[in-house]
Amino acid sequence: MRSRPASTRRSPRPAHRRRSLTFVALATVLTGLAVTGCSRTVIVEPAKDAANPKCADILLTLPDEISGQKARTTSSQGTKAWGDPNVAVLRCGVTPPGPTTDQCVSVSGVDWISKPSEDDETTWKFTSYGRTPAVEVLVNRKAESGNDVLAAISPTLSKFPPKNECVGAEDIAG
């Protein structure tokens, strides 16, 4: 009896098998889109000290929503964003501000340096004062009130005791 060499040529897959694989691949992609909610990733430049372990603690306890706006995926460690389009973007690990004459507001026991963003007139920039790591929050003034955003975020930061607090001229005159 003679044996035939095994063919090196692969037989084509049956058409129904190709359709099944295509269907499985398509279903996987659609499931992935449904799970992610089709929202785009927010590109955020990480802060210098974003890898600080306290930043991880802060991010884990931040709210999932601010004023009904859901948190979105961000591109960098130590960051979080809410809303589409963005209502607020947070970066943990920014350089703590030193003494300043900029306006300071206190929300839920957390002091924030408050000033318009230098890059965009529709954005307001808040930087936590007296806490390390420092947190920066950019708020779209056309979409949301800075007070509402800080009221949602400040309870998380209040868990970390301040090393300094804002003082005004009336506090040092004496």
Distance CA 48, CA 18 (A): 50
Tens of pLDDT, residues 85-99:
999 999 999 999 999
Residue 37 DSSP code? T
- Do 47 and 92 meet the contact criterion of CB atoms below 8 Å apart? yes
Note the pLDDT tens digit of each residue in 48-62.
999 999 999 999 999
- Give the mean pLDDT of the chain: 82
Taking only the tens place, the pLDDT of each residue in 70-83 is: 999 999 999 999 99
Per the model's pLDDT, the better-predicted residue between 171 and 111 turns out to be 111
Task: Specify the pTM.
Answer: 0.74
The yes-or-no verdict on residue 32 having pLDDT over 60 is no
Instruction: Name, in order, each residue with C-beta under 8 angstroms of 41's C-beta and a sequence gap of 6 or more.
Output: 72, 73, 74, 75
- Residue-wise pLDDT for 158-173, tens only, equals 999 999 999 865 666 5
152, β-bridge pairs: none
Question: Are the C-beta atoms of residues 124 and 117 closer than 8 Å to each other?
Answer: yes
When comparing pLDDT for 41 and 20, which is higher? 41
Which pair of tokens denotes residue 42? 């927010």
Q: Where does residue 27 rank: exposed (0-12), middle (13-18), buried (19+ CB within 10 A)?
A: exposed
Confidence bin at 15 (pLDDT 50/70/90):
low
The position carrying tokens 């900029």 is 102
